[in-house]
Structures are given as C-alpha cells and as structure tokens.
C-alpha cells in the first residue's frame, strides 16, 4: 500500500481533482488543508471524505512545515504532493529537502513567478526568493495544470526534472444534471471567480450587457464570485446602479458563496464567459500570461460541468482546451453572435464542449499521468 500526502490550503478544486486521480484502493491518502479548504473538499467528496485522513493546518502557521515533516517520517509516506505553496516557502523547502525517501511533487501555478521570481530588499521578499530557489532544488518533480504551461516551463527554464501534466479538474458525468439546452429557456452566461482586477476585466461584462441590452436580448449574466478589495466592491456597486430592461445582471454581495450554489449555477448555465486580462500582474510578482504561464481555475469549472467557454481570441489556448472554447474577435462581435445564435448552433457548441470534457474523466487522466502515479 502506498502512502500519499496532499498539501494544499487554497485551491480546493485542483486538490479535489488530484484526490480523485490518485484514489486507488491500494493507496492511503492524507490531506493537509486549512479549515475552509477541508470543509469545501469534504462537501465535494461527500461520504467518500471519511475514507481519507485529514490534518487541519493554517497556511500562515510556521509550524505547519514541521508537522508535515513529522507526519511524513512517522507514517513512512512515499509521495508528497505540494499542490499549492503560497506561504513559508523556505520552511516547506527545507521540509522537502529533509524528506530524502519521499517523492515530492510541486504543482507550479505561475511559471514566471516561481522559476524567475522578483526580489526586493524586504525580509519577506528575500525569504520567499530563497525559499523558491531551495524548492527548485529539493523537490523531485513538478506538475503543471496545462500542457502549454508545461511546454513553456521546459522550453524557457531548461528544467531537467520531470514536469507532469496534472489537470486542475475532472469530469464526472454523474454529477451533471443539465445535459441539454431548452430552446425556450433564457440564455444564461456565468462569469465564475473572485472579482479582482488582476485576473479579469469586469468592464467587459458591463460593455457586453449594454450591447445586449441595445439588441433587446433576454439574457442572464451571472457574476459568480465574491468581491476582493476596493475594486471588487466597486464592481458590485456598479452592478447595483446599472439599469437594464432586457438583460438580467446577477451578482453576489457576500463574503463567501456556498459551494452547492456555486456548482448549481455552473451546472445550469449555457456558457461560461472568461473576460481574462491577457497578462496577470500582481504586486511583487512577475507578469504571467493566461494560457502560457498561468491557468485560470474557470477553465476547469467549464471542464467539470461540460460547458463551452466564451473567451477572447487573443488568449492562448492549450490544445486540450481548444474544443471547449468559443473564441470571439471582439465584444460587439460576441454580442452579434449571441443575438443571432440558433438553438441548433447552441446544441452543436454544447455537444462539442461535452465531448471535450470526456477527455478529462478520472480513468483517462490516470492513464495520462501513469509515470506520475506508477511509483505510488
């Protein structure tokens, strides 16, 4: 029996996918997560959550790395998945370095910021820089969420270690309720994800809403995310002040969206709209390009629920996502397409997305990453 530990205190969607992929009957799985991530994961896993061992730790607690080391050594863990490392990089790196007999696999979420990080003269920046450098030395291999990110890492950073493709979502058809479109139903477009200005341009949503309003389109736009900072709150206020007669604009003025509600909206929508900024630039970090160096979790929201993605044609698409996406040249062009789209065309686009999602079944993903789980 192989003993696996998964560490993640942020990305419950990718952790859920990883759990499902490595959950074979001969594997023992322990999950290190913070309280919020654990709660959501337990909800997603249902009754199967009780078959795993759970260790609740805060990502900001500096003793978490020591707890991780002790657990791995006492329980003779064979594989450690560092699914997200966002705090205490140096301590986690030292832990990885000390676990000589453990296969440590680190998921890279932002390629440029990890392999070529910025550094300032602040103690925190220096520790983070040193921690990332030691992580690059100490881990056994890497995992990327998209094949295009994996290719970018290999080509630009001359990585000698294995870089595996570990998708951030799995397709489970038994969890989907809405498989067909109703020709008489209102078109529902969902924009999933936290409302901030680093990742998505929400002015695109308001522009699209106004363009559809001019064409008197009975369409529902749903902002499926919580507001982050002043920018996010301003977006909510703008939603409140917008006067629309034909287009319905829904939003959530709450601190947390219940996972059941989140998944219900994804399951019942017709399209997922991703108004991504081409470049994601956070303070103190390198610029990242969506589709090449960084992946949006919304891509895998679409995969999980077999939904077509509306996305600007200037965003690079990994090969495995191309059939899931419906690229558009401009917002006026998208408005024209949506207003003239027949039910038959909707069905065709939806069917194409469904077939693409089938490539992300648990069984197929296990085969694709066999080199990763073979030693387990």
Q: Tens digits of per-residue pLDDT, 104-125?
A: 999 999 999 999 999 888 888 9
Angle among Cα 357, 41, 5 to the nearest 5 degrees reads: 95
CA distance linking residue 292 with residue 111, whole number of Å: 9
Instruction: Give the chain's domains with CATH numbers.
Output: 2-170+361-373 (3.40.50.2000), 173-359 (3.40.50.2000)
What is the value of pTM for the model shown?
A: 0.93
Q: Please write the tens of the pLDDT for every residue from 232-291.
A: 999 999 999 999 999 999 999 999 899 899 999 999 999 999 999 999 988 889 999 999
CA distance linking residue 31 with residue 185, whole number of Å: 42
CA distance linking residue 171 with residue 128, whole number of Å: 35
Handedness of CA 143, 144, 147, 151 (dihedral sign): negative
Q: Give backbone dihedrals phi and psi of 328, rounded to 5 degrees, phi first.
A: -125, 150
Across-strand partners of 312?
A: 328
Q: Please write the tens of the pLDDT for every residue from 143-181.
A: 999 999 999 999 999 899 999 999 999 999 988 876 666
Across-strand partners of 288?
A: 280
pLDDT computed for residue 244 by the predictor: 94
Angle among Cα 316, 318, 204 to the nearest 5 degrees reads: 40
Contacts of residue 132, defined as CB under 8 A and 6 or more positions apart, other chains included, come to 89, 93, 114, 117
Q: Average pLDDT of 192-220?
A: 94
Q: Average pLDDT of 16-33?
A: 93
Q: Average pLDDT of 126-153?
A: 96
Whether pLDDT at 62 is above 50 = yes
Percent of the chain whose predicted confidence (pLDDT) is above 90: 83
Find where tokens 């630009």 sit: 156
Which of the four pLDDT bands, split at 50, 70 and 90, describes residue 183? low
pLDDT computed for residue 376 by the predictor: 47
60/302: higher pLDDT: 302
Which of the four pLDDT bands, split at 50, 70 and 90, describes residue 369? confident
Percent of the chain whose predicted confidence (pLDDT) is above 70: 97
Q: What is the mean pLDDT of the chain?
A: 93
Whether pLDDT at 312 is above 90 = yes
Which of the four pLDDT bands, split at 50, 70 and 90, describes residue 342? confident
pLDDT computed for residue 371 by the predictor: 65
Find where tokens 């990742």 sit: 199
pLDDT computed for residue 175 by the predictor: 84
CA distance linking residue 290 with residue 110, whole number of Å: 10
Q: Average pLDDT of 42-64?
A: 93
CA distance linking residue 370 with residue 365, whole number of Å: 8
pLDDT computed for residue 26 by the predictor: 84
CA distance linking residue 119 with residue 107, whole number of Å: 21
pLDDT computed for residue 121 by the predictor: 84
């Amino acid at each position: 029996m192989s003993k696996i530990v998964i560490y993640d205190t942020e990305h419950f969607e990718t952790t859920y996918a990883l759990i499902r992929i490595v959950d074979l009957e001969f594997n023992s799985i322990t999950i290190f997560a913070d309280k919020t991530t654990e709660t959501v994961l337990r909800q997603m896993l249902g009754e199967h959550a009780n078959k795993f061992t759970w260790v609740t730790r805060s990502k900001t607690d500096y003793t978490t790395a020591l707890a991780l080391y002790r657990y791995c050594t006492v329980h003779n863990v064979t594989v450690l998945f560092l699914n997200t490392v966002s705090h205490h990089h140096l301590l986690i790196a030292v832990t990885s370095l000390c676990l000589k007999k453990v296969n440590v696999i680190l998921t890279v979420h932002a390629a440029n910021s990890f392999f070529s990080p910025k550094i300032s003269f602040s103690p925190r920046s220096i520790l983070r820089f040193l921690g990332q450098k030691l992580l690059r030395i100490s881990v056994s291999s890497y995992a990327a969420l998209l094949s295009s990110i994996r290719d970018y890492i290999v080509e630009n950073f001359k990585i000698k270690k294995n870089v595996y493709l570990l998708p951030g979502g799995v397709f489970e058809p038994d969890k989907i309720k809405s498989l067909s479109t109703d020709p008489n139903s209102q078109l529902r477009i969902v924009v999933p994800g936290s409302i901030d200005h680093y990742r998505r341009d929400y002015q695109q949503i308001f522009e699209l809403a106004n363009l559809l309003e001019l064409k008197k389109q009975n369409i529902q736009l749903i902002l499926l995310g919580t507001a982050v900072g002043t920018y996010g709150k301003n977006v909510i206020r703008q939603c409140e002040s917008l006067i629309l007669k034909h287009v319905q604009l829904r939003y959530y003025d709450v601190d947390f969206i219940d996972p059941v509600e989140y998944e219900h909206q994804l399951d019942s929508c017709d399209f997922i709209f991703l108004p991504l900024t081409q470049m994601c630039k956070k303070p103190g970090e390198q610029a990242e390009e969506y589709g090449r160096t960084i992946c949006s979790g919304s891509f895998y929201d679409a995969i999980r629920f077999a939904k077509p993605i509306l996305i600007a044609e200037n965003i690079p698409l990994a090969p495995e996502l191309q059939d899931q996406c419906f690229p558009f040249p401009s917002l006026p062009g998208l408005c024209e397409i949506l207003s003239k789209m027949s039910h038959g065309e909707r069905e065709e686009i939806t069917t194409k997305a469904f077939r693409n999602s089938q490539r992300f079944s648990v069984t197929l993903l296990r085969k694709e990453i066999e080199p990763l789980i073979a030693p387990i």
